[in-house]
Amino acid sequence: MTEKKNETAGNHAIVVKNLEKVFGPIRAVDGISFSVPFGSTTALLGGNGAGKTTTLSMLLGILYPSAGSIAVLGHDMTNDRYTALERMNFASPFTDLPRRLTVRENLTVYGRLYSVPDLPDRIDELAEGFAFTDFLDRHYGKISAGQQARVALAKSLLNRPDVLLLDEPTASLDPDMADKIRSYIEKYRKKTGATILLASHNMPEVERLCDNVLMMREGKIVDTGAPQTLIHRYGLRNMEDVFLKVARDHGNNNAVTALLKKKKTAKKKSTAKKKRAGKND
């Protein structure tokens, strides 16, 4: 990873500055800036419509930003994205693969697009890792939603990406399979040093996999931090509670400031109360 670390200032695989996406009257992404360090897993969190998928789509070059800049692996994604795209990949259970092709045919097509050298072996290896050797030769359109999600994940790892974008990767998986997939993602990152950006609604998944969290609401980033830091800062029990707190804190873009202010006032009150109690003793 040393060579890769030199590619962007500050050792970040993804650098986003003042990014905006406007769809007519809707500001889907409203001037966000963030950086993702090499080799980390960062969560992109937010309620429905917060702007996560739009952000991921701009990172992949599927959508053009209305304003702002994105650099991935040191390449500007507006003018010079193809070199970076070769080293990136993406999975979402909501994007379909051609349904009339078999799973193997689909993976072969995508593998060729990425010029994967050892393609047949790589497909077998991923089929084993994601437990779909049994249905490699079935039509993609005739396997279940959870099975399709596993194939989509395998597709995203075909080219052994250095930057992996995952949009709700375990949304349609049963708890046992979701656990296996999380282990696979963890091992992949440890083994390759890949950088992962993960949009998820599953908070235990975020606590387990992510070093850092970007919390979005209404197209803006309203808070960031490591999961344990956020849990501690808000004085809550887990990321589920933090998510609910931030998502429901409408009308106040700086949820943390408000919460800290509230905590400070409570502390002042409690200290004053203790002092008064001391005087009365």
Could you list the residues that contact ligand ATP (CB under 6 A)?
Answer: 23, 26, 28, 46, 48-54
What tokens does 32 get?
């966000």
Q: List, in order, residues 6 or more apart from 78 with CB less than 8 Å away.
A: 64, 65, 69, 70
- Whether 169 and 93 have beta carbons less than 8 Å apart is answered as yes
Min dist CB 248 to ligand ATP, Å, is 15
What tokens does 278 get?
């001391």
Place of tokens 């991923």: 126
Eight-state DSSP code of residue 97? P
Rounded Cα distance between 226 and 94, Å, is: 28
Min dist CB 107 to ligand ATP, Å, is 26
Min dist CB 167 to ligand ATP, Å, is 7
Residue 182 identity (one-letter amino acid): R
Name which of 50 and 157 has its Cβ closer to ligand ATP.
Answer: 50
Q: List, in order, residues 6 or more apart from 67 with CB less than 8 Å away.
A: 18, 19, 20, 31
Backbone region of residue 49 per phi and psi (left: phi > 0; alpha: psi in -120 to 50; beta: other values) = left
Min dist CB 117 to ligand ATP, Å, is 34
Min dist CB 26 to ligand ATP, Å, is 5
Place of tokens 């109690």: 277
